[in-house]
Amino acid sequence: DRDHQKADWVSIHKQICQLLIPIRTSLPCPPTERERKHGMEQLLRRQKYIIEVAYSTAQEFVWDGKHEKARPAALHALRFGIEVYGSDSLQLVPAYLLLAEASTGAGHLPEASKYLSQAEWIVLRTPDCSAAVQYKLHRSLGLFCAAQGNFEQALYHLANDVYLASSAFGLKSLEASGGYFHMANIFFRQNKMDIANSLYAEVAAAWDAFLLKSLQAQQQVLKSRPEMSLLTEDREVSEEPMTEAQQVEGIRVLTAILDIREQAPTQQPGETARVLHALAMLHYLLMDLPKARELGLKAFELVKQLPQQERLEPLGHLLKLMNVEPSST
């Protein structure tokens, strides 16, 4: 229909229409085998580039909460993925999962279920499928079940998500923490606050450790390259810079936990300070210094009131990096 075509155009066609012309245009057969091979390689590169552009466009729409706009772009990624890799390739799983997420967010649960079934079928048909792929499937299945209100099944899939992510990346990894976060949200909705708070604490601890390490890595790079500073145009100063997905997830997850901590009837200032500190580090690494200062100072004020003040030193160091002198009283 017209609305769908318009959404399709807005979300992706503008970006890839010029790329589609040489792919969809019939050309005369090259006279030599070498030229034919070169033409096929060029076609494959273009197709893979379109997959990349379409997938990243859809991902950004999902991050922005524009799930309906994400669907056409994700469909393009899937269609070209099928052309390039075949209909039962493991390479299609990310596109199917993204389509499922976009469809769920847009309220199209039957379609989401169909895409998840396709992804699950591919994974089951691939005996050597890595845990790094399987955990994402279980997370998607868990979130879909949660959207349906089937919390028991959602927790089952999310527990598998955590197990697989932990086996692939480590128990304290960000990948594993994502499953904990979604489990915590379900327990929060069920008003099982003790379990939810415990899981939120695990998530905050994982991000806190990751961001502290990222900050230290950045400082090491800056020390070794004194001509650079945080304010230079070169943003890639960390040895292992965060991916865009990690940046988006970090802001989303930590902000959500902070809201829950600050609105809780029983305050846990130590946990709130941990989340504030993590968010301050994240905004600092993203060069949003005003926000980093604001969050860092809030964390510092909380930490000063705690009997255990081991967080004062790293917080003080962060504030010093931003030329902020917190009050010691």
Per-residue pLDDT tens digits for 201-219: 999 999 999 999 999 888 8
Going from N- to C-terminal start, the domains of the chain cover 1-29+37-123, 130-183, 192-329
pLDDT confidence of residue 263: 92
Phi-psi group of 234: left, alpha or beta (phi > 0 → left; psi -120 to 50 → alpha; rest → beta): beta
Per-residue pLDDT tens digits for 125-177: 998 999 999 999 999 999 999 999 999 999 999 999 999 999 999 999 999 99
Q: 1-29+37-123 belongs to which homologous superfamily?
A: Tetratricopeptide repeat domain (1.25.40.10)
**Residue 238 reports pLDDT greater than 60:** no
State how far the Cα of 174 lies from the Cα of 176, in Å rounded to an integer: 5
Contact 161, 138 (CB under 8 A): yes
State how far the Cα of 292 lies from the Cα of 282, in Å rounded to an integer: 8
Per-residue pLDDT tens digits for 179-202: 999 999 999 999 999 999 999 999
**Residue 2 reports pLDDT greater than 90:** no
Among 302, 300, 283, which residue's Cα sits nearest to residue 291?
283
State how far the Cα of 269 lies from the Cα of 172, in Å rounded to an integer: 22
Per-residue pLDDT tens digits for 64-94: 999 998 999 999 899 999 999 999 999 999 9
pLDDT confidence of residue 237: 45
Contact 32, 12 (CB under 8 A): no
State how far the Cα of 88 lies from the Cα of 126, in Å rounded to an integer: 9
Contact 88, 73 (CB under 8 A): no
State how far the Cα of 278 lies from the Cα of 315, in Å rounded to an integer: 10
